Structure 1
Amino acid sequence: MIESPQFPPLLSGQTVPRHTDPFDKAVSQAIAGVDSGTIFYSEAGDMLRAALVLAPETPLEQAIQAVYVAQIGLAESLGALAPPEVPVHFQWPDRIKVNGAVCGRVRFAADGADPQEQPRWLVIGIEVPFIPANDEPGQNPNETCLLEEGCSDVQPMALLESWSKHTLLWLTYFMDSGFDRVHNEWRPRCDTLGKMIEQPRPGIFVGLDEKGRMLLRQDVMTETVSLIEFAEQT
């Protein structure tokens, strides 16, 4: 029997059937008016899939910065549960990397796409694979799972529980201090900063601006790219 995760105050959990996507369930329940702070999650053992519903009190361009908070929460959780030598990094806008290979992602959707409008809800989900997706290790060298990275002792529900606690802590920092503290914590974990990238568009990833938008340099021009562009459509 899988032991139910314990969530911190202000957050609560709801399981979904094994073949139901927690992210889709969270979006549908957010539209229906479920309480902010509800985490929908699957108890499947091959991958951690969970989604947190939030009710922002700021315009979308500020609220979307909570995506970085969720990434930090996941990195800190893996850092606490995985062997100490396992590095965790980010690949903008939504990938999580373990030992240099992609090991999951963050998903997000909001009520509306206008940066200046306050959304009624924001859903942020995480997906972290625990075992290989197929029987041929190394078939996709740029992708990995926790088992292949020496994290066999990490259990999905333990990671979910830890993620909820670390994410809530960083949401508190974010609401109290704004984006600066989040940015300072996120930046060293992004392994493509200062490098030429091809996605989402070719250019040099200079960094993030004060609104959390990517600064992408192309020749002498620098453009901004917002996380809002990568929100899933609902």
Structure 2
Amino acid sequence: MTDADFPPLFNGYASAGDDPLALACNAAQGGTEAGLVIHDAGPDSLRAAVVFAPEVPLREAAIMLPLCGLGFQNALGVLAPPVVAIHLGWDGAIYVNGGRCGQLTMIASTDDPDAVPDWLVIGLHLDLTPLGDDGGTDPDRTALYAEGCGDVAAPDLLAAWLRHSLSWLDTWDNQGTAPLHREWSGLVHGLNETVTLAGQTGTLLGTDEHLNGLLKSGDTTTLIPLTRLLKDAP
């Protein structure tokens, strides 16, 4: 993939086997501009990381994790056969036909919810081929090409993910969180089931209007901020 394949505002390069997430975080710490995309499409997995420069406090900017999830779901939904079901976990997990197929990760320059981050990086890891020789070592895991998506080229999927994420970013800028909440609510994996999110276990009721998680345990419903999903830089 070349820069010409990226939508406007994005540019980047292939990592040649190195971890794109680590490289993107290092570049962000060094002051790179927003829109940098570092990617690595191997035979078994697609890895990518995108640098953003939020202009709002982290508690609001953290919506970039589900926003980029929607971008990925929409992108794969266009490229995959119609029978393929794509759902999203609140924690950034990606599910294809009910099996966990990938993960989105969020890293920022600060973990203070009230501070405006200097940078925020969203990483993508997608399994393309099954783990293990028979693909059955973990029944809850799957891979893109094992779910009837063998014709989906990783570079095309990456470019489509960026395009759809950019579209959702524009929607968020102009219309707020309501359209994202409506779309995401129809794609959530594990709704009304017992799940563990950010170290807490309970029944996933959905999210509030800002896509913070709502988890019920007994008679208590707890709001889990998206900022709890922040990871440390590799």
| Structure-1-length-normalised TM-score | 0.95
CA offsets, 1:112-166, max 9 Å, x none?
A: 1111110000000111111122212212110000111011101111110111111
Instruction: Calculate percent identity across the aligned residue pairs.
Output: 34
Give 1:180 deviation, angstroms.
Answer: 1.1
CA RMSD of aligned residues (A): 1.3
In structure 1, what is the equivalent of residue 223 of structure 2?
A: 224
Task: State the alpha-carbon separation in 2 of the partners of residues 194 and 162 from structure 1.
Answer: 31
Of 88, 102, 119, the residue aligned with 1:90 is: 88
3-state SS of 2:186 partner: helix
Amino acid at match of 1:173: T
Unpaired stretches in structure 2, ≥5 consecutive residues: none
Give 1:197 deviation, angstroms.
Answer: 2.1
Give 1:222 deviation, angstroms.
Answer: 1.2
Unpaired stretches in structure 1, ≥5 consecutive residues: none
> Is the 8 Å Cα contact of residues 205 and 215 (structure 1) preserved in structure 2?
yes
How many residues are aligned here? 231
In structure 2, what is the equivalent of residue 189 of structure 1?
A: 187
**Structure 1 runs, 4 residues or longer, greater than 3 Å off:** none
| Structure-2-length-normalised TM-score | 0.95
In structure 2, what is the equivalent of residue 42 of structure 1?
A: 40
> Is the 8 Å Cα contact of residues 51 and 123 (structure 1) preserved in structure 2?
yes
Amino acid at match of 2:127: P
> Is the 8 Å Cα contact of residues 131 and 137 (structure 2) preserved in structure 1?
no
> Is the 8 Å Cα contact of residues 102 and 143 (structure 1) preserved in structure 2?
yes
Task: State the alpha-carbon separation in 1 of the partners of residues 13 and 33 from structure 2.
Answer: 12
> Is the 8 Å Cα contact of residues 45 and 126 (structure 2) preserved in structure 1?
yes
Amino acid at match of 1:227: L
Give 1:4 deviation, angstroms.
Answer: 3.2
> Is the 8 Å Cα contact of residues 75 and 89 (structure 1) preserved in structure 2?
yes
